[in-house]
């Protein structure tokens, strides 16, 4: 859910969708299990291959703020 615009590899996408089908999970259950957004899963179900180009310029990110947000919203149980 908190990947911040980085692309997940094709093998990972295939693995996630295979688990969803095998265990008959909903998009919400799968998203929670893998710490992903439901919209990402729905996009992957429509088109599994990652996009190779962007239609917008790169966004400059404040690295310190990114670390704070990532630590605050981490899906990993501590």
With respect to residue 59, please indicate whether it lies within any of the assigned structural domains. yes
Dist. CA 15–CA 45, nearest whole Å = 12
Q: How many percent of the chain have pLDDT more than 70?
A: 81
With respect to residue 68, please indicate whether it lies within any of the assigned structural domains. yes
With respect to residue 62, please indicate whether it lies within any of the assigned structural domains. yes
Alpha helices for 1-78 (secondary structure H): 10-22, 27-34, 38-46, 63-72
CB 17 within 8 A of CB 31: no
What is the pLDDT at residue 33? 95
- Band of the pLDDT at 20, cuts 50, 70, 90? very high
Give the distance from CA 62 to its chain's centroid: 21
With respect to residue 67, please indicate whether it lies within any of the assigned structural domains. yes
Structure tokens, 30: 């799968």
Q: In terms of residue numbers, what domain contains 34? A: 10-72
**What's the pTM?**
0.61
CB 72 within 8 A of CB 38: no
């Amino acid at each position: 859910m908190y990947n911040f615009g980085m692309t997940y590899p094709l093998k990972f996408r295939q693995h996630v969708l295979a688990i969803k089908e095998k265990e008959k999970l909903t998009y919400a259950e799968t998203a929670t299990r893998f710490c992903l957004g439901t919209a990402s899963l729905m996009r992957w179900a429509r088109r599994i291959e990652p996009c190779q180009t962007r239609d917008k310029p790169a966004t400059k990110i404040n690295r310190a703020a990114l670390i704070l947000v990532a630590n605050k919203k981490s899906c990993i149980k501590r």
